[in-house]
Amino acid sequence: MLMMQKNLKWHANGKKYDGLLRHDVDSPQWKKIDSLFPKYGSDPRNLRLGLTTDGMNPYSNLSSKHSLWSVLVIIYNLLYWLCMKRKYMMISGPRRNDIDAYLSPLIEDLKFLWDQGVEVFDIYEKVNFNLRALLFCTINDFLAYWNLSSYNVKGHIVCPICEENTSYHQLKHGRKTSYIGHRRFLKNVITLIVG
């Protein structure tokens, strides 16, 4: 248990500052949250959680009546090789039609953890403290994005970042839309990573 408590705070004590993007703690988003919410960011024990979900069909016959949705909650405070280990993730999931009812208690808990927090005991420092948490990011494909937020994922304006500037091409001999031009962001990503 002591090791777990120590691992939750590694980003404040043992992080390398070399400009490389190895973990979410190296991201501009992490730093932005610390600057926008200094009281939250000042305590490294406060949790930053990631939520990811994806649908699957256990009978592989494309029937939506039997689709299942896995929901994973990831603790990003942990080292990059620990946060993806099964014992540190919360995994469960409903059927597709039940996802709103399923996620509702999770959203209420996340609101409570952000607004008020929970009094817990830090066994490493042997003190009580108020543990708070925030939903740092969500990771999903377009179908899950539509299922979770009702964002339109069909048509010409499907990218939640580009919106009206989505680069698309309507195929000449069919009704399919091809999305091109997404590599235009690659130069910025390479610049960010390389420096």
Place of tokens 């929901």: 71
Q: Is the pLDDT of residue 132 over 90?
A: yes
Q: Which residues contact 58 (CB under 8 A, 6 or more apart)?
A: 66, 68
Do 14 and 100 have their domain in common?
yes
What is the domain count for the chain?
Answer: 2
Mean model confidence pLDDT for the chain: 77
Do 14 and 88 have their domain in common?
yes
- Contact in structure between 167 and 184 (CB atoms under 8 Å): yes
Do 73 and 164 have their domain in common?
no
Phi, psi of 49 (to 5 degrees): -110, 150
Do 133 and 184 have their domain in common?
no
Helix (H) or strand (E) holding 8: helix 2-8
Whole-prediction pTM: 0.72
Do 115 and 173 have their domain in common?
no
Lowest-confidence pick of 23-32, 55-64, 139-148, 155-164:
55-64
Do 105 and 191 have their domain in common?
no
Give the model's confidence band at 113: pLDDT under 50 very low, under 70 low, under 90 confident, else very high: very high
Do 24 and 106 have their domain in common?
yes
Do 142 and 186 have their domain in common?
no
Do 193 and 100 have their domain in common?
no
Q: Is the pLDDT of residue 106 over 90?
A: no
Q: Is the pLDDT of residue 42 over 80?
A: yes
Do 74 and 144 have their domain in common?
yes
Task: Dump strand ranges (E) for 13-164.
Answer: 47-56, 68-75, 90-92, 118-122, 127-131, 133-139
**In this predicted structure, what is the pLDDT of residue 195?**
47
Q: Is the pLDDT of residue 192 over 60?
A: no
CA angle 45, 48, 50 (to 5 degrees): 150
Do 14 and 101 have their domain in common?
yes
Domain that holds residue 191: 154-195
Lowest-confidence pick of 11-25, 58-72, 105-119, 177-191:
177-191
Do 83 and 174 have their domain in common?
no
